[in-house]
A and B are shown apart, each in its own frame.
Chain A
Amino acid sequence: MRDFDYIAPKSVEETIKVLSEYKDEAKIIAGGQSLLNILKQDLMAPEILVDIKHLSELDYITYDEKEGMRIGATTTHHAVEVSPLVIEHYPILSEMEHTLAFPQTRNWGTIGGNLCIQDPTGDVAPPLIALRATVKIVGPNGERILPMEDFSTDYYETVLEEDEILAEVRIPPMAPRTGVAYSKFRIVEGDAPIVGAAVAFTLNEDGTCADARIATNGTAPIPLRIPDAEAVFKGKKITDELIQEAVEVAGEAMECIPDIVASDEYKKRVAKVYIKRMARKALSQIQ
């Protein structure tokens, strides 16, 4: 690892000031679970690390019946996993965290760090997209709010400018008659996912589909929301045949990239199976 300087700002405001001063010479460190591996391989050589891990200002989980949930960026995976508020209102997030990486990674790694590293196989983004989450970004000109699915731009790239940070994840309250499911395929517990899928359905009182959300990981350079497949369900009664039809549409949308673990064809097949299973599971929660 090359030498770098280190600063631990006392507030978000000071963090933004430091970032504005150093620009691309600075790099944020939160839990460092991904960043330190990158630095150890000399894949990046920042002049200065700006540590936000200790900022209690960014470490919180709150819930309000109108506004929904807010999770600060430096909240650890473990804190999300065991939060009574998360378990009560969005159990899918606790389940997702329970199987993300290892206890050690979850105890120190943060939800913000996971989203910002933008690993295409990351577990956190797909369920958040299914839950219609938004992210709050803070920079020198104030804050901006973006839908979760607009945050990632490419492999390990996000919309963040060099003087901006991800400050908060916001999740709206769940509509009545909503079911959400997420699961991933991997060979060994603790391994990164090969592919995964999150599906959410909201039904009308008459049982037809008011709204559907489908998001996958490992199937494209960014977490992939698949509106064409979602559209298959709108206004219809959800049956197994309809799910199969949506799965085929989703298959067309995924441009899986082969890697050392799996070929593109294999990933696509498995992702389709996971979409199908998660659709059935989400539906079973409402019916």
Chain B
Amino acid sequence: MKKILSFTLNGQPYEVAVKPKTTLIELIRDEIGLTGPKIGCNAGACGACTVLIDGKAVDSCSVLALQVEGHSVETVEGLADGDKLHPLQEAFLDDGGYQCGFCTPGMLMAAKSLLNENPDPSIHEIRHGLSGNLCRCTGYVRIIDSIHDAAQRMKKEGGEKS
């Protein structure tokens, strides 16, 4: 029997009826239709499905949709501000932080979570922060560079504002 779930997705309130066994990634992709987060392993091991729950990276394949009741969820679709890309997205574009792009939505959200907590991470801290995200293409170096670059850009932006 379906149950009613209320939560926020990319700043927008949602009220949807879901089966208890629906996982968060199934809700986001199949029912709401945001296909940014990907299903890789469906077992909490690859990070392709990474979304933020209350600002923290979580594998959406390993959370029941009903468990985000009252929480705020953010996917890669919520990263840009209208047409203005997020500094992480800009840095990934400029620094070649992706090849096929399958892991990218998860990488971006894992990186966002990391920077939320630690705005100026060392290379080691970036590597540790990405330990739950697999990439079959890039060899990681450019992803790590992109995140380091994005952190610098965000520091600058923040500095300009204040």
Contact = CB atoms under 8 A, between A and B. Distances in A.
A105 B110 CA distance: 12
A63 B67 CA distance: 29
B38 to A, nearest CB: 14
Given A1-B21, A3-B20, A102 B131 contact: yes
Given A103-B113, A104-B47, A32 B62 contact: yes
B50 interface: yes
B132 A105 contact: yes
Given A2-B21, A49-B20, A37 B56 contact: no
Interface in B17-35: 19-21, 23
Interface residues of A, number: 29
A266 interface: no
Interface string B48-84: 0010010011110111101101100000000000000
A238 interface: no
Contact of B64 (A2, A6, A189): A6
B23 A36 contact: yes
B129 interface: yes
Interface residues of B, number: 31
Given A32-B64, A40-B42, A189 B1 contact: no
A263 B21 CA distance: 37
Interface string A216-245: 000000000000000000000000000000
B114 interface: yes
B23 A104 contact: no
Contacts of B62: 32-33, 36-37, 104-105, 108
Interface string A268-287: 00000000000000000000
Nearest to B130: A103
B64 A36 contact: yes
**Shortest Cβ-Cβ A-B pairs, 3 listed:** A102-B132, A6-B20, A107-B56
Interface of B: 1, 3, 19-21, 23, 42-44, 47, 50, 53, 56-59, 61-64, 66-67, 69-70, 110, 113-114, 128-129, 131-132
